[in-house]
Amino acid sequence: MKILIYGNTGKACRNEWISNLETLLKAEKIEYDIISREDLQNEMSADALFILGGDGTILHLTEFASKNNIPIIGINAGKLGFLSEFEICETENALNSLIKGELKQDKRSTLSIEFNQKKYIALNDAVVQRIYTENEDGIISNIEIFIDGKAVDIVRGDGVIVSTPTGSTAYSLSAGGAILAPRINAHSITTISAHSLHHRPIIFSADSTCELLLKEGNIAGLFIDGKLVDTLKCGDRIKVSKSELFMTFYRKETSDFYDRLLSKLNVNFNRG
């Protein structure tokens, strides 16, 4: 068995967390490598990738894990930890469960985003959103939305979110979007602070292609899983489709999406 370890470099206790995991791996005589940001451009193989951090850390490794087809074990050392399966205090339990074959795989679809002759991979979402600068302080005007070449809406507001089922519980949810079950073959479109009462989330087949056209207005940013990757000007078009790559998570046998949803969203629900 071969294990990879990645820890959030922004966490003060990162070295301590990694050292504890190293001790456990050495005791089990399991081969492992600690990887850095620089390693994320390389091709690697492993039986599992332990990610110690929050949801942002996992999102940062989407392209690396999906392209190398390495299942992830998320160890939550952040705040929400919606994508993680284990808390930092459960690291030993996570490793033992992996060794015993007691974990199940949870396969999540990803987005392929094409813009400016570049292609990006997203686990959560692609967002076209206004950028606040000294010279650009107005709203974005007119983002036209196309599905399979057919115009379906024109949005005047702060932006548009195109999300996967996984991303439906992230920024899209905060903007009033619908929650999609993980295995549904669909994507969602959610507007951000639209200046109209008619806008509602659009759920469409993941086998379709969505395009966003910035028709007029101020400068906007293209954000992939929360990271600004490029800027847009009038006439720019973003193409969003289902990627051939998947992100695979290892989860507890008892893990349930709806239980996690209620727990992470702090919903007290009496099942009777």
Q: Is 264 exposed, middle or buried (0-12, 13-18, 19+ CB in 10 A)?
A: middle
Of the residues 33, 39, 47, 55, only one is catalytic, namely 55
Residue with tokens 């669909």: 186
Distance CA(58)–CA(40), nearest Å, equals 12
3-state secondary structure of 15: helix
Percentage helix, strand, coil for the chain under 3-state DSSP, each rounded to 5: 20, 40, 35
148 is known as an active-site residue: no
Distance CA(182)–CA(75), nearest Å, equals 20
Pair 53, 78: CB distance under 8 Å: yes
Helices 91-99 & 14-27 angle (0-180, nearest 10):
30
Rg of the chain (C-alpha set): 20
The residues annotated with a catalytic role in the active site are 55
